[in-house]
Amino acid sequence: MVTARSGRVRKTAERARVGAKPQVARSALSAPFELNVSAQVRKGYAARLRELLPLARGHVKGALSEMTVILVGDEAMAKLHWDFMRIEGPTDVMTFPIDLDAKARPISGEVYICVPYAQREAKERGMKPANEVLLYAVHGMLHLCGYDDRTSREFAKMHAKEDSILKAIGVGVVFDVQARAADGGKKVKVSGKNVKTESRSSLTRSASGAAKRGKAWR
């Protein structure tokens, strides 16, 4: 069973204390950042997240000092999706603020990523699955750092920031398929049923009314 607030997976998560690295933008990352990664499925993705998410954190302002990433399968994600949003079926990523500072900014949070969903989406978009998983993790991090995507303007700003961060840490554009093709990445067909250049089904809205069990974003 996966729960977002009770029984936090921190007891079983592998912890990686992040120290200062030359690639980290120190102006953004002004406080220690602790990253915990737990993989219930496809553990091979965890090492890359541990390597790159601390660098990504250095490129965004915010009070976030601790983040737990949990890689789950379709069944676990579908349960979370129903429990917190009353929506059936899995989604790509769900984010939960855990602790807030005096200004009500998240200082810790949990990001659940559905690996099979990422693999399916990556295949549809001509993307490496590892990069799709990383995109979802950065998406959750941005939510915890104050970004939202409920309006078209917020949406554009948030997803542009995702790609900006991913380029800065050496991965390249991931979300914007047209920009990725122009940047030398693999060209993909953008007229397919599940491929959109301005929005994708599961990364478009935050769950402002996530039932009565606490706040969640997806």
Q: What DSSP string runs through 145-188?
A: TT---SSHHHHHHHHHHHHHHHHHTTS---S-HHHHHHTT----
Residue 151 CA to residue 111 CA, distance in Å, equals: 22
> Residue 217 has what pLDDT?
73
> Residue 84 has what pLDDT?
95
Q: What radius of gyration, in Å, describes the C-alpha atoms of the chain?
A: 16
Residue 202 CA to residue 199 CA, distance in Å, equals: 9
Mean pLDDT of 22-50: 79
- State pLDDT tens for residues 167-179: 999 999 999 865 6
3-state class (DSSP) for residue 67? strand
Identify the structural domains of the chain with CATH numbers, from first to last: 9-217 (3.40.390.30)
pTM, entire model: 0.74
Which residue would you say has higher pLDDT here, 202 or 61?
Answer: 61
DSSP-derived letter for residue 60 is: S
Flag whether pLDDT at 101 surpasses 60.
yes
Flag whether pLDDT at 94 surpasses 60.
yes
- State pLDDT tens for residues 177-212: 656 555 555 443 333 323 222 233 333 333 333 333
What six digits make up the tokens of 5? Answer: 């607030």
